[in-house]
Structure 1
Amino acid sequence: MPQMAPSLWVFIYVFMCLMVFILKNNLFFLKDKKIELLKEQKFNKSMNYKWQ
């Protein structure tokens, strides 16, 4: 690790965590509907197989 001020490492760490958190939230909001539809389709298929 390069020698840098500890406060700079803390700033970088917090900044990266915030960016990952924001990006994940945006991705989840965008993909929520798609994931729900896929889950419903898989669930319906599995239920159909069970009933047969």
Structure 2
Amino acid sequence: MSSLMAKELELIEGFRDLSLVCERTTRSVKLGILKLTNDFLEEVVEKQKTDA
């Protein structure tokens, strides 16, 4: 295995630790992350901080 391929695999493993979606093909590496938020739930959490 060439040192370049070893470095590529090391980087891919590092990205996996970041909980990114990692798809490796023969021509590319695709990385992505998706975060969904709910504004209503965030507002409830903020209001609960001041609610007795």
Pick the structure with more helix per residue: 1
TM-score of the aligned structures, taking structure 2 as reference length: 0.35
Q: Which has the higher contact order (CA 8 A, sep 6+)?
A: 2
Q: Work out which of the two has the higher radius of gyration on C-alpha atoms and give 1 or 2.
A: 1
Pick the structure with more strand per residue: 2
TM-score of the aligned structures, taking structure 1 as reference length: 0.35
